[in-house]
Structure 1
Amino acid sequence: MLKYQSIYHDLSARIHNADLPSGAKLPSIRQLAQQFSCSKSTILAALQKLEQQHLIYAIPKSGYYVVDHQIAQKPLVSNLIDFATSSPTWHAFPYHDFQHCINKAIDTYQSDLFKYGTAKGLPSLITEAKKLLEAYQVFTNNSNIFITSGVQQALSLLSLMPFPNNCKTILVEQPSYHLYIDFLKTYHMPVVGIKRTTNGIDLKELEQIFRTKEIKFFYTMPRFHNPLGTSYSKKEKEAILHLANQYNVYIVEDDFLADFEYNSKRDPMYAMDTNDRVIYLKSFSKIMFPGLRIGFAILPNELINIFQQYKITTDIDSSMISQAALELYLKSGMFERYRAQVHEHYYNRGKILQHSLKTHFSMYPASSEICMHSHIVFPKEVDLYRIIKYLSQKQILFNSIDQNYIDDFYRERILKINVSTIEDKKIEDGIKELAHTLNNLDNYF
């Protein structure tokens, strides 16, 4: 080991052990050279490496100071089999690549960091967003694209702002995205639900609701529904669009898992819309990480001004650093390479999950999609909560679907299943243990 590397490891250990805590000043270069019996240039080489690791920073004519003593967390080795968590596998993300984009973004857009942005978002990111959206068969103009602080912000703005149809009631699939359900409850929004199952929705019921309830918009996840994992057929999407046009209802299409589509012929509902009925939402929380807080909203022309007005009063603009870093991540080709890798990774997990469900639960309704999440519908005699509690004691985590319903809507006994954080080899073991537990008659009422 070279001398400067030895010094680097020594100082790094002192920082990580909090012998040199955050904000502490390091000894001077002269003192360090005397301490380690080496030249000043050797000390400078060690300090430069510490700076590159973001462990220290320099103040001209003052010295070097510790940024933070904490080290990056490494994935813990655990026997836990977590079917409850829906976050992406965080340690699989290429942080070093994205760090390049963050650092470059700060260098490139440093003057913009001291200005308020625009309600629509960073123009250069919007240009890259337009190119990316075309890969999802979403063709639009830059003027129709808004950068939002995740899909959740877009949903809240759409729910609060007035629409040209002058209707106020929101229609949501049941079950649906739990955080949006929480929003609707918290703000006491007028909302009605329509049951969605492995067989889709009842189109006759949809027409009746559109005809009688003065629906502002229908919030739907046509592709890889959360939490069911099911998708609408082309015929179903066309029928929904036809009814929306007939009854002057808008469609809010949440396409949060577009990056994991394995059927190249399956397009979003937006691609079929010829009457500016569909508002398309795209998130990066599953393909990258939720902390990025960036989403895209593609709006019809008649909604642009009012959406922009409401967004300005919320946050003026989404995080400039996140936007700039994402723009570079997209433009450099890093995202496309990462997406291909993650797509294959989760597709394999989805296949294992499907095989396990067909092997052990073929008698119960479940999604047939190859997706990172699915569900099982159990008979009402099954004590689902006892099963969940029992399996948690064996370090196998599941969740019911209760939080995904609006108040007073009939709740079926549905178990949510997500494999985004589970090692491939553990998926079969967990589903097999679930089947074994279900066969215990104590789990029935």
Structure 2
Amino acid sequence: MRKYEELMREIERRMEDGTIRGGQRLPSIRDMSERFACSKSTVIRAFAELEKRHLVYTVPQSGYYAVVQKPETERNQDRALFDFSAPSPDPEHFPYTDFQHCLNKAIDMYRSDLFAYGLSQGLPSLQHVLSKHLNGRQVFVRPERITVTSGMQQALAILSELPFPNGKRTVLLEQPSYHLLIRLLETKGIPVRGINRSEQGIDLDRLEQLFRTGDIKLFYTMPRFHNPLGTSYPETVKKAIAGLAERYGVYVMEDDYLADLETDPKSDPIYAYAPSHVIYLNSFSKLLFPGLRIGAVVLPPELQDTFGLYKQLADLDSPMLSQAALEIYMQNGMFERRKQQLVASYHDRMLRLNRALHAFNDTGFAHHASVQSGAHTHIAFTEPLHIPTLLNRLRRKNVVLRELDSFFLCGFEKRPLLKLSIARVGEDRIEEGVWILMDEIKRMKRTIGRS
């Protein structure tokens, strides 16, 4: 065993037995060098390797500290779960070390600018970085046209209440759709209608009819990696939606929250086909971590001033420290590395998920959508099955999914669906989890058949 590995083992052992507690400062490099009779460079390498494993972190001018760990029983419990419900990456794999470096660098670079009120529209240097980032997605926009928001939820809340130039009042949603936007609209009493979306897509004739006669000011859509279906619109449908929006003066609110997981270089957003009538929304929480609370909104010029006023009245500005750290994270290539890692990981997991579904789904009444990229897919049932009972039975076997009734508007026909997310299921556990799921579905169906 190499000397630096011996040091690592010793520190890990002390962390496991509680001799070194989470948040405790580790012995200095000099002390460790003398205690283990090795060079300082050997100690530095051991600390660097432990930092890569998120077991320690460094504070400039202070030293190395132990990362607070979950209790072993809790970690074992997490590993025992087949969690197909979670939309975000496993917290144990969040980019803590990289982002901590960016936070420290942001404070050094911007100092007092980050601790005073900022600009409501966002940190100008981040706007420039986001402009280049979005240009790579065929969203060609100048930096001053981008507004930074406190997460996508703030953008949705503002846009749902905003008066629009077309003078109309109703928001149109795909069904199913994002559950928190549904709750927002229904809670605030904002007029809302639904249009069915399935694995096969959307009825464009029905969409045109609603645009023409339905008092629609805004159509909210997730054309790419729809939540909860996981499916995406082909380019022909995106072009058709863009054309209808321009023809009838309806604004499209395009939520491209998983755009960074796209593997098809020919896939463009709706914005590329009708920038004058598309509000483009982008989030970073699903790629980095939900607590970042940074979103980006690209608005048609006629909406920008009104949106800015509503945002300023809501929160003056979005967190400046998070904005500065994200700017540095993107500028230094860390975001791109993180993206490539997740794209590769999710691609392999989606392939594994599809293979498992094809292998074990021989029911004839539970249809699974074949989604090749993104972070989730769905199962649709063509025969009656009580979803809450199924989920309870699965939970007893450590398979976790969520009910999707909240993804439908009140009064809209709810379809029996299951969403399968691969964000927190290890690639080597997907097959077993799917087998348990499909076996339980078949058991329930046999029980129904005998009753």
Shorter chain as denominator, the TM-score bin is 0.7 to 0.9
Across the two proteins, how many residue pairs are aligned to each other? Answer: 415
| TM-score of the superposed pair, with normalisation by structure 2 | 0.83
Describe the superposition over 1:367-394 as per-residue Cα deviations: whole angstroms up to 9, x where unpaired.
Answer: 3222321111112422222211111101
| Alpha-carbon shift at residue 55 of structure 1 (Å) | 9.4
- Within the alignment, does 1:277 sit opposite 2:274 as a pair? no
The more displaced of 324-333 and 82-91 is: 82-91
Q: Secondary structure of 1:407's partner?
A: coil
One-letter identity of the residue aligned with 2:68: I
- Within the alignment, does 1:76 sit opposite 2:78 as a pair? no
The more displaced of 353-362 and 420-429 is: 353-362
Q: In the aligned structure 2, how far is the partner of 1:426 from the partner of 1:19? A: 31
| Alpha-carbon shift at residue 57 of structure 1 (Å) | 11
Distance 1:224 1:20, change over 3 A: closer
Q: In the aligned structure 2, how far is the partner of 1:122 from the partner of 1:141? A: 14
- Within the alignment, does 1:417 sit opposite 2:398 as a pair? no
The question of whether the paired residues in 1 share the 8 Å contact of 2:146 and 2:298 is answered with yes
Q: In the aligned structure 2, how far is the partner of 1:20 from the partner of 1:215? A: 54
Q: Secondary structure of 1:291's partner?
A: helix
Q: In the aligned structure 1, how far is the partner of 2:294 from the partner of 2:153? A: 10
Structure 2 counterparts to residues 48-197 of structure 1, below 5 A: 71-73=68-70, 76-77=75-76, 78-197=79-198
Equivalent position of 1:427 in the other structure: 430
Distance 1:407 1:304, change over 3 A: same
Q: Secondary structure of 1:400's partner?
A: coil
CA RMSD of aligned residues (A): 3.3
| Alpha-carbon shift at residue 73 of structure 1 (Å) | 3.7
| Alpha-carbon shift at residue 94 of structure 1 (Å) | 2.8
Structure 2 counterparts to residues 43-442 of structure 1, below 5 A: 71-73=68-70, 76-77=75-76, 78-273=79-274, 276-361=276-361, 363=364, 364-370=366-372, 371-440=374-443, 441-442=446-447
One-letter identity of the residue aligned with 1:367: A
The question of whether the paired residues in 1 share the 8 Å contact of 2:224 and 2:256 is answered with yes
The question of whether the paired residues in 2 share the 8 Å contact of 1:170 and 1:192 is answered with yes
Q: Secondary structure of 1:173's partner?
A: strand
Distance 1:313 1:72, change over 3 A: farther
Q: In the aligned structure 2, how far is the partner of 1:348 from the partner of 1:82? A: 17
One-letter identity of the residue aligned with 2:295: G
The question of whether the paired residues in 2 share the 8 Å contact of 1:198 and 1:366 is answered with no
The question of whether the paired residues in 2 share the 8 Å contact of 1:386 and 1:443 is answered with no
The question of whether the paired residues in 2 share the 8 Å contact of 1:380 and 1:412 is answered with no
| Alpha-carbon shift at residue 432 of structure 1 (Å) | 1.5
Describe the superposition over 1:25-84 as per-residue Cα deviations: whole angstroms up to 9, x where unpaired.
Answer: xxxxxxxx9xxx9xxxx9xx9xxx9xx9679999xxxxx9xxx99824488132110111
Q: Secondary structure of 1:385's partner?
A: helix
**Aligned residues: percent identity?**
42
Describe the superposition over 1:412-438 as per-residue Cα deviations: whole angstroms up to 9, x where unpaired.
Answer: 111111111001111111111222122
| Alpha-carbon shift at residue 99 of structure 1 (Å) | 1.0
Q: In the aligned structure 2, how far is the partner of 1:230 from the partner of 1:382? A: 23
Q: In the aligned structure 2, how far is the partner of 1:157 from the partner of 1:366? A: 36
Q: Secondary structure of 1:218's partner?
A: strand
Q: In the aligned structure 1, how far is the partner of 2:57 from the partner of 2:346? A: 32
Q: Secondary structure of 1:417's partner?
A: strand
| TM-score of the superposed pair, with normalisation by structure 1 | 0.85
Describe the superposition over 1:123-153 as per-residue Cα deviations: whole angstroms up to 9, x where unpaired.
Answer: 0000000111112121111121011111111
The question of whether the paired residues in 2 share the 8 Å contact of 1:400 and 1:413 is answered with no
The question of whether the paired residues in 2 share the 8 Å contact of 1:383 and 1:443 is answered with no
Describe the superposition over 1:383-410 as per-residue Cα deviations: whole angstroms up to 9, x where unpaired.
Answer: 2222111111011112221111111110
Bigger radius of gyration among the two: 1
| Alpha-carbon shift at residue 323 of structure 1 (Å) | 0.3
The question of whether the paired residues in 2 share the 8 Å contact of 1:198 and 1:365 is answered with no
| Alpha-carbon shift at residue 365 of structure 1 (Å) | 3.5
Q: Secondary structure of 1:347's partner?
A: helix
Q: Secondary structure of 1:154's partner?
A: helix
The more displaced of 356-365 and 332-341 is: 356-365
Distance 1:54 1:380, change over 3 A: same
Stretches of structure 1 lacking an aligned partner (at least 5 in a row): 23-32, 59-63
Q: In the aligned structure 1, how far is the partner of 2:22 from the partner of 2:416? A: 54
Q: Secondary structure of 1:110's partner?
A: helix
| Alpha-carbon shift at residue 358 of structure 1 (Å) | 2.5
Q: Secondary structure of 2:240's partner?
A: helix
Q: In the aligned structure 1, how far is the partner of 2:304 from the partner of 2:157? A: 15
Q: In the aligned structure 1, how far is the partner of 2:58 from the partner of 2:109? A: 23
The question of whether the paired residues in 1 share the 8 Å contact of 2:23 and 2:68 is answered with no
Q: In the aligned structure 2, how far is the partner of 1:114 from the partner of 1:301? A: 30
The question of whether the paired residues in 1 share the 8 Å contact of 2:402 and 2:419 is answered with yes
The more displaced of 432-441 and 412-421 is: 432-441
| Alpha-carbon shift at residue 317 of structure 1 (Å) | 1.1
The question of whether the paired residues in 1 share the 8 Å contact of 2:57 and 2:97 is answered with no
Distance 1:79 1:413, change over 3 A: same
Describe the superposition over 1:245-265 as per-residue Cα deviations: whole angstroms up to 9, x where unpaired.
Answer: 121100000001111111111
Describe the superposition over 1:316-362 as per-residue Cα deviations: whole angstroms up to 9, x where unpaired.
Answer: 11111100000000111111111111110111111111222223336
